[in-house]
Amino acid sequence: MYHLFLHSQLDYRRDIMFTAVLVLMSVSGINGWTDTKVRRFRDNFLFGAATSAYQVEGGWDVDDKGENIWDRFLHEHPGVVADGRNGDVACDSYHKYQRDVEMLRELGVDHYRFSISWSRILPTGFSNEINEKGLEYYDNLIDELLKYDIKPMITLFHFDLPQTLQDLGGWANPLSVEWFEDYARVVFEKFGAKVKYWITINQPNSICVDGYGGIEFAPAVGSSGVGDYLCIKNVLLAHAKAYRLYEEEYKAKYKGSVGISLSVNWADSYDNKTENIESTDLYREFTIGLYMNPIWSKEGDFPAVVKKRVLQRSLEQGYRKSRLPEFSSDEIILLKGSADFLGANHYTTTLVKKAEKRFPSPSIDDDMGVELSQRSEWKTSQSSWLRSAPYGLYKMSIHINKVYDYPPVFITEHGWSTMRGLKDSSRVKILRDYFNALLFAIEDGTDVKGYTAWSLMDNIEWTAGSSERFGLYEVNFDSKEKTRKARLSALVYKRIIEERIVEENWKPDNLNISITKRKKYVKVEL
């Protein structure tokens, strides 16, 4: 069933109301029509939770682990962390992984998305020196998950490049494509028989635009408009090389699936002015199309409008050619179709209008020429950038269906930040609102295989430290044991997993949580 109010030319005022519409449609009349349908997640829909290595593991220099760019960046610039807490110890999951798995059992999830620290298993970054102690840690974690029928979903790279490779240029160096392929081979060889779900790289935009274009995210290169574009090309090629490696040497044997996790937040026009609608379309191509087009579009390559825009601005700035590097014909072929699923990291929605000011040049901001905002009535989180707009998840889903022909999707991250405290009612509301939006997206054809909550527990949120809490479980970072306690949201999530529906008014009797026998569901085939 297609919801007709979304398939006409909506003005922005209707978007304001869409969050409420998604929640109210099942219980109230809209334009004389009452929908009392109870929407349900199918039995083979996979629910999970996520973390990443630097953010939870700790043990930054134990058992022969090598230094990574976040170790170096936060040690040399401790002042950039909001509360001064870095990932040296974090949640100490390196020693407490069994408690982490126990929490997953309490929730009743189907899968656990975690990342491997490249420098923990390859201390120099290169595959000639393999750290067996690092491999043993991940082997133990995987076995603990499989013991309880929890599927490992491994991310090969989640922001923490070995510092030795960064010293050679990192992702701006074309050789990084080979370095990543070699690293992927080590991991596939070791864990391919046990792991069926793989994510090559998490959020290329954060790696490249923030890390190589900016100065507040490791490795803080500060080469906006040049280094970030070099990084984007190499990261996408590295993904494709790892995908083809698995496809050619491991897929027939192990029958796993390999995807990539991209940031797919939604963007809407600030108003109905033509210039702002056009600016919004351009912004989407720079933030979604730049990463999805090479893999999922029929033509491949970077979006034509992005190539045209960067070339035009580059020539105006005195460059002899575009600052956006080109893909060769062979590279376009390599990238096209190089994913079994899209890992969608979705958090929020922004409003876009044509910029009335000029940005520093060269830069991606200057290439886009847009200004961003969010509606004041959208609920705010502990993070300045994160506001609740559940309708954006629906509209993002419809967009990728239309533009990229219904790719299989895992929601690989979605979450909400709060302050400390176990009674996180705001996270509960956001969880329910976004699940309602997701159910509408599934009903309207989006091929969503599963959902992964960010995050299993409070962790080190990069330069925010522990000042922004995303966990279903609260972590006491001041305690020696790094004690984890279930929040209200953990019990609500557990209930949704068990019942497969969103119950707006359900409340637990208390915050006690225990392990229950997990139901068996039909295996997902991608």
Q: What sign results for the dihedral spanned by CA atoms 343, 347, 351, 354?
A: negative
CA 5 vs. chain centroid, Å, equals 29
Q: Which of 26, 206, 297, 401 is catalytic?
A: 206
Options 85, 105, 113, 427, the catalytic residue: 113
113 is catalytic: yes
The residue annotated as part of the active site, out of 52, 176, 203, 417, is: 203
Catalytic residue among 413, 461, 468, 474: 413
Helix (H) or strand (E) holding 341, with range, is strand 341-345
**Is 478 in a helix, a strand, or coil?**
coil
Are the C-beta atoms of residues 416 and 14 closer than 8 Å to each other? no
Q: Would residue 203 show up in a list of annotated catalytic residues for this protein? A: yes
Structure tokens at 213: 């274009």
| Location of structure tokens 């040497």 | 249
Question: Which residue reads 């922001």 in tokens?
Answer: 159
Catalytic residue among 212, 270, 347, 493: 347
CA 440/CA 420 separation, integer angstroms: 32
DSSP state, residue 434: H
Identify which of 412, 392, 405, 485 has the alpha carbon closest to the alpha carbon of residue 446: 405
Would residue 206 show up in a list of annotated catalytic residues for this protein? yes
Is the CB of residue 394 less than 8 Å from the CB of residue 22?
Answer: yes
Distance separating alpha carbons of residues 446 and 448, to the nearest angstrom:
6
**Known catalytic residue at 347:** yes
Report residue 83 as tokens. Answer: 């509360």
How far is residue 519's CA from residue 398's CA, in Å, rounded to a whole number? Answer: 31
Q: Which listed residue (202, 345, 381, 417) is catalytic? A: 345
Question: Where are the strands (E) in 129-235, listed by range?
Answer: 151-157, 197-202
Active site residues: 113, 203, 206, 345, 347, 413
